[in-house]
Amino acid sequence: MAGADAIIGQNVSLGYGGNPIVSGLSFTLRQGGYLCIIGENGSGKSTLIKGILGLMTPLRGTITISPAIKKTEIGYLSQEAIAKKDFPAGAWEIVVSGNLGKTGLRPFYSKAEKQRAEETMRLLEISDLKEHCFRELSGGQQRRVLLARSLCAAEKLLVLDEPASGLDPLITSELYRLLKNIQAEKGMTIVMVSHDIEAAKQHASQIINLGKPLINIENGRQSND
């Protein structure tokens, strides 16, 4: 349902070996919202992402994703994927592979899945790269291809860990514009980790700053935890 809660965190603490990195965090993200997670290196941004995705269990508290959002409707772009530059495949093969979670036991992509990949490449303005080898693309082009793959997987929730890392300011600005268009056109819920505080203020509907003190800003309303 539009406007319902997509993700709820209640008094969440996350960490490793029983030692918390993120402590006492509570937040609510509405469906169609745009959450930006900021903070210094080591503040727990990627750790919080893993908690949201269910890749690690909170030490305390809970993180709940709406039952209306299935695992196969979540797209995730990790730092590891961004750092990898030597995919031995073409741009099209990488983008369409975002549908793998939906194919089940089918050894092929359906017409609808191929069409989804085509539409995603068009949305990100990379249709002309369809036949190009990924490793021969520029950094900005590679980032769009990986984002397109994540979008093929995402139907309701898109999670991005530092998608603009290493990009020049012009390409970064364009990436943020594309994400805003995706949110507006598809009603997509977006969770993004970023170092760019100004971009977060400009584009996000909600900001969690994992600094000290921890600050959660939601629709202009600030709460300190």
For the chain, residues classed under CATH 3.40.50.300 are 1-69+191-225, 71-155
**The two structure tokens encoding residue 198:** 């100004």
Tens-place pLDDT, residues 94-149 = 999 888 876 666 678 889 889 989 988 988 889 999 999 999 998 888 888 998 99
Least confident of 14-18, 184-188, 190-194, 218-222: 218-222
Q: Tell me how far the alpha carbon of residue 56 is from its chain's centroid.
A: 17
**pLDDT at 32 > cutoff 50:** yes
Whole-angstrom Cα distance, residue 73 to residue 130? 24
- Token pair of 205, please? 């509907």
Q: Residue 216: its pLDDT value, please?
A: 75
| Cβ–Cβ under 8 Å, residues 99 and 152 | yes
pLDDT band at 225 (very low <50, low <70, confident <90, very high): low
pLDDT for the residue numbered 198: 84
DSSP string, 97-153: GGGHHHHTT-SS--HHHHHHHHHHHHHTT-GGGTTSBGGGS-HHHHHHHHHHHHHHH
> What's the whole-number average pLDDT of the chain?
86
Nearest Cα residue to 161 out of 86, 31, 25, 53: 53
pLDDT at 221 over 70: no
- pLDDT at 159 (0 to 100): 95
Q: Where are the alpha helices (DSSP H) in 4-52?
A: 45-52
Angle between the 139-153 and 169-186 helix axes, to the nearest 10 degrees? Answer: 20
Instruction: Report CA torsion sign: 114, 119, 124, 127.
Output: positive
- Predicted pLDDT at 222: 58
pLDDT at residue 1, as a whole number: 42
| pLDDT for the residue numbered 131 | 93
Q: Which residue has the higher pLDDT, 198 or 25?
A: 25
Give domain 71-155's CATH superfamily: P-loop containing nucleotide triphosphate hydrolases (3.40.50.300)
Residue of 104 and 40 predicted with greater confidence:
40
Question: What is the strand order of the sheet 215-218 is part of?
Answer: 74-77, 157-161, 189-193, 34-38, 206-209, 215-218, 221-224
Cβ contacts of residue 162 below 8 Å, gap of 6+?
A: 45, 79, 82, 193, 194, 195
Contacts of 71 (CB under 8 A, 6+ apart): 101
d(CA 137, CA 91): 9
Which among 8, 18, 37 has a CA at the least distance from the CA of 193? 37
Strand 215-218, strand 34-38: pairing = unpaired
CATH topology of domain 1-69+191-225: Rossmann fold (3.40.50)
